[in-house]
């Protein structure tokens, strides 16, 4: 067995090689907040274009109609969610900062077991009911 650490590389559309820290992120927006986001994304700027691309690349994208609690969901299994380094993430986080906390919920779970789980927003009554769980899995070994 080789003791060398294998680094995972992602080659972006610009040809850059990106290595680093990846997170699982889920974002839920109330329908009215999504309409405001769409207007903000219509801006002609590179940051808006990057944010549109980030949203389109989510592993899961859903909409649920539920009266006043109708909501949109984006979920990324492995994304570099660092607003200090990535303009697309900063665009989205700045947008969320402009909203009432009751219009969104976002959870970021780091890639390492002991990473802190970060949560923003108070949209707890969304139809998606975001939460983080920890469980013990037990499987019986066949004899």
Q: What is the mean pLDDT of residues 62-67?
A: 93
Tens digit of pLDDT for each residue in 6-15? Answer: 344 444 444 4
Tens digit of pLDDT for each residue in 22-37? Answer: 999 999 999 999 999 9
Instruction: Map out the domains of the chain as residue ranges.
Output: 23-120
pLDDT at 17: 45
pLDDT at 77: 93
Is pTM beyond 0.75 here?
Answer: yes
Domain 23-120 class, CATH top level: alpha beta
pLDDT at 134: 75
pLDDT at 14: 44
pLDDT at 115: 85
pLDDT at 16: 38
d(CA 29, CA 49): 19
> In the predicted model, what is the mean pLDDT of the chain?
85
């Amino acid at each position: 067995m080789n003791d060398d650490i294998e680094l995972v590389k992602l080659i972006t559309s610009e040809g850059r090689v990106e290595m680093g820290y990846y997170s699982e992120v889920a974002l839920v927006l109330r329908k009215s907040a999504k309409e405001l986001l769409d207007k903000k994304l219509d801006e002609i700027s590179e940051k808006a274009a990057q944010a549109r691309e980030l949203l389109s690349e989510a592993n899961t994208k859903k909409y649920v109609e539920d009266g006043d609690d109708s909501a949109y969901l984006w979920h990324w299994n492995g994304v570099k969610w660092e607003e200090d380094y990535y303009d697309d993430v900063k665009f989205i986080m700045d947008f969320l900062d402009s909203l009432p906390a009751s219009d969104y919920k976002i959870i970021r779970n780091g890639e390492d077991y002991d990473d802190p789980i970060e949560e923003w927003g108070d949209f707890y009554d969304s139809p998606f009911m975001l939460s983080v769980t920890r469980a013990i899995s037990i499987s019986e070994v066949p004899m």
